[in-house]
Structure 1
């Protein structure tokens, strides 16, 4: 009978293991067999006695903790690469990149400087200016869409996490109930479900997963608990989309929660989306805004007299501008209500503009003078490059001014190259991190599977072994039955 029980327990665990191969996070089970007087239900202390002591969940807490942490890192880097793939390819493409269009514009200005009376050369300025505006608009639209997608993704991520938090708290309560007096330990299915929920939370919001001594789980973010045993808190998103917050003490009622802001998340999908929306995209926009302001400043100054520039008055010829509502702005003199920007003479001038845009006191972008509103207002009638458009008089942009403008091409080429390099280096770094994280995650999964994973070949061999054991035990019982029947027949 002991043999039959052992074989039956082995067949049971084998069937569970085979069925568990299709379940993510399933941990292999095995039956524990004791012998002689060590068997807790043994009636014989001086011979051979066997019994099934219980079932073991093949599990490594060390590997599981490492795997959970790595899942958060991998999800973080994978999300960064996934969301920035499009903008990386667009920026790096010379046929669609902003730096190529800016280079063509200054080349057209240089060609015009050699022959300022040539109307075709003037027309080339308009054509290349339109291309710059189109590239700038396309890039701004893409960054706006990227930020919008990141924020929508953050909302979805938080919503998913908020459905998992009470589920984990419920599993924790079931684990506590299973370890109450009369029960030796929670079932392996509860523990597997606990780990699956922790894995999903790590992918979504990262943080730290702790397994308590009673088998329950605690999920922390920035040192604050999302789930503490049977208590689940709630994640919310601040109205500025720059931070997430945790609402605590929900066990006292949904309207009695205490809101605490989490300053940053450095892992998980939510952490990556916050970084894209609040760091990566704003940095790109500042660089684009800097280039747009610089182009308006230098290109439009080429056709203005020093007196007009000093007075901050309008210009008789403008190449670039900003369309804000129904108004078009093309003057950025220091006397403007927006505060203006300094003269651009070197890379340091562009850096100064970039730094000033980060200041809360900056009124330029707040007034709508930014890359998303950047347009080309170069005249489509090429005669307007000259005084007396009807008969084509003197050029409004002289050869000297065109040369001065063309000499600034290196400044803008440097700014455009820095923009391309910054985006490319950042995305390349994230791609490299993703590959490294993927390798580490694969290695940890392989190590976990070597302990907790199910091998169908091994289970097939075990099934055959237990079947033979069951058959042998049955034959022993049959032989005993025949023996007793024979003895009874003799006695009768």
Structure 2
């Protein structure tokens, strides 16, 4: 009977192993699936000269490496962070640097009109051209301001979408923690649940950089890299935006967030506060400074009627680039291109002073675009490197935990042969038993 029991235990163990191999093969294309292995051990032998009591399945092991999993999550976070920022910077650079929207063509036309009026400053036609080119330049300021404001709205809308996605993943993680705790307490196999949790963590890490701490009951406590809690046991936090501020709400407490949280959410926060808003403020400063210098210089001259010069531009100091316009009611003869009356009628002294402002008008905008181009190029390079690192981290994780069909085929052959051999042991034991009965 011992021979039959040994063969039967080997038969059942081989069958369990084959079931496990088939599960691995069936899930080869499932994202985040971790292959499983059967853990076998010899049964305790009896007393005397017994050959043993066969084999037993002691459990199923998830072939995983926590270090590689953490590396993958951090690579996901860094790639999401840098890709998010580089994408918006590329859009910003395109808007500010495109010939169709850049200030440079508008500045060229405006100062070209001033140069054209230098020979006949008393003529109406070149004065009208100056007003027309000033209006076109103002429209370029307005367009750029509108584009930056539109990007700010897109950033906030995407922030809300990322928050919603993160909150959904946090709720899933809390539920998976609860299920893993219950199944593990009953001695069940939590492999599939842990796979789901790891894949959910990978997706969450692309949104924010996370830290995990494994508990004795199998659950994971999850927090942000800065320490704010996200999931404790079966309780999940919520990430919400209040006007311009973003925070984590957990157990009645609120923790503010900034761009240091990583992931695509951190990238959105950083881009808005450190790149987009400063660029918008700089555009306002350029508009206010340019309009102020032109208007101040015109105030020092006289128009065709010998009256003090009127402003060419009007604007709202709270939204200079978005509100700059040609002053309402301004006519060609109102442009104070002449100096004082003592210099003679029709002189262009003040016009020459306006032309002296040309270099300064270009410098500020070129500095803004140049700095943005350098920053954008650096972020583009960083994003490409981060995506390569993420791909490498995924490959390392899959090299350990992923399903290799060639390896599974070899394992199946091994366990099929083991199954057949144990079946032969049972058949041989049966023949020996029948022979013994026939001899009696």
Normalised by the length of structure 2, the TM-score is 0.85
Q: Partners in 1 of 2:88 and 2:311 — Cα distance?
A: 37
Post-superposition Cα deviations, 1:180-229, rounded to whole Å, max 9, x if no partner, equal 3x52x751112212222222222223242333344321221221211112
Which whole-Å CA distance do the structure 2 matches of 1:264 and 1:272 have between them?
6
- Structure 1 residue 93 corresponds to structure 2 residue 122: no
Q: Is 1:17 matched up with 2:21?
A: no
Q: Is the 8 A contact 2:209 2:263 kept in 1?
A: yes
Residue 351 (structure 2) aligned to one of 402, 407, 411:
402
Q: Does 1:227 align with 2:231?
A: yes
**How far is the alpha carbon of 1:171 from its aligned partner?**
1.9
Instruction: Indicate conservation of the 8 Å contact 2:173/2:231, yes or no.
Output: yes
Kindly report which structure 2 residues correspond to 1:271-286, keeping only aligned pairs within 5 A, or say none: 271-286=266-281
C-alpha separation in 2, matches of 1:376 and 1:481: 106
Equivalent-residue separation in structure 1 for 2:140 and 2:415 (angstroms)? 71
Q: Which ranges of 4 or more aligned residues in structure 1 deviate by more than 6 Å?
A: 378-381
1:320 aligned onto 2:320 = no
Q: Which residue of 2 aligns with 1:431?
A: 380
SS in 2 for 1:205: coil
1:200 aligns with 2:198: no
State the Cα RMSD in Å: 3.0
Deviates more, 1:132-141 or 1:282-291: 132-141
User: Structure 1 residue 139 and structure 2 residue 124: aligned?
Assistant: no
1:443-454 equivalence runs, <5 A: 443-454=392-403
Question: What is the rounded CA distance, in whole Å, between the counterparts of 1:218 and 1:99 in structure 2?
Answer: 54
Question: Which aligned pairs between 1:147-226 and structure 2 lie closer than 5 A?
Answer: 147-180=152-185, 183=187, 187-221=190-224, 222-226=226-230
Within-5 A mapping of 1:287-436: 287-305=282-300, 317-322=310-315, 364-365=317-318, 368=319, 370-377=320-327, 385=335, 399-436=348-385
For residues 230-255 of structure 1, give each alpha carbon's deviation from its aligned partner in whole angstroms, at most 9, with x where no partner exists: 2222222223x1x3222232xxxxxx
Could you tell me how far apart the structure 2 residues matched to 1:315 and 1:470 are?
A: 106
SS in 2 for 1:218: strand
Change (3 A) 1:223 1:267: same
Instruction: Judge conservation of contact 2:312–2:330 (CA < 8 Å) in 1.
Output: no
Q: Which runs of 5 or more structure 1 residues have no equivalent in the other structure?
A: 250-256, 309-313, 325-363, 388-393
The answer as to 2:39 corresponding to 1:32 is yes
Partner Cα separation in structure 1 for residue 30 and residue 329 of structure 2: 66
Counterpart for residue 442 of structure 1: 391
Aligned partners of 1:212, 1:422: CA distance in 2, in Å? 48
Question: What does residue 261 of structure 1 align with?
Answer: 256
- Where does residue 64 of structure 1 map in the other structure? 69
Match for residue 470 of structure 1? 419
Contact 1:27 1:57 in 2 (8 A): yes
Q: Is the 8 A contact 1:379 1:385 kept in 2?
A: no
8 A contact 2:174–2:236 mirrored in 1: yes
Pairs aligned (count):
421
Contact 1:113-1:400 at 8 Å conserved across structures = no
> Residue by residue, what CA displacement relative to the aligned partner does 1:244-272 show, whole Å, maximum 9, x if unpaired?
222232xxxxxxx2334345543012211
Residues 1:106 and 2:99 are matched in the alignment = no
Partner of 1:337: none
Cα–Cα, structure 1 residues 486 and 285, in superposed 2: closer, same or farther, change >3 Å? Answer: same
Q: Take 2:329 and 2:77, find their aligned partners in 1: how far apart are those partners?
A: 54
Work out whether residues 295 and 320 of structure 1, in 8 Å CA contact, stay in contact via their aligned partners in 2: no
- Distance of 1:457 and 1:114 partners within structure 2: 85
CA contact (8 A) 1:68 1:209 kept: no
SS of alignment partner, residue 87 of structure 1: helix
Q: What's the secondary structure of 1:113's corresponding residue?
A: coil
Counterparts in 2 of 1:43 and 1:194: CA distance versus 1, 3 Å: farther
- Aligned partners of 2:275 and 2:143: how far apart in 1? 17
Tell me if the contact between 1:300 and 1:315 (Cα under 8 Å) persists in the aligned partners: no
Contact 1:92 1:420 in 2 (8 A): yes
Q: Deviations over 1:436-456 (max 9, x none)?
A: 211211111111111111112
Deviations 1:161-180 (A, max 9, x none): 22222322222223333443
Q: Which residue of 1 aligns with 2:250?
A: 248
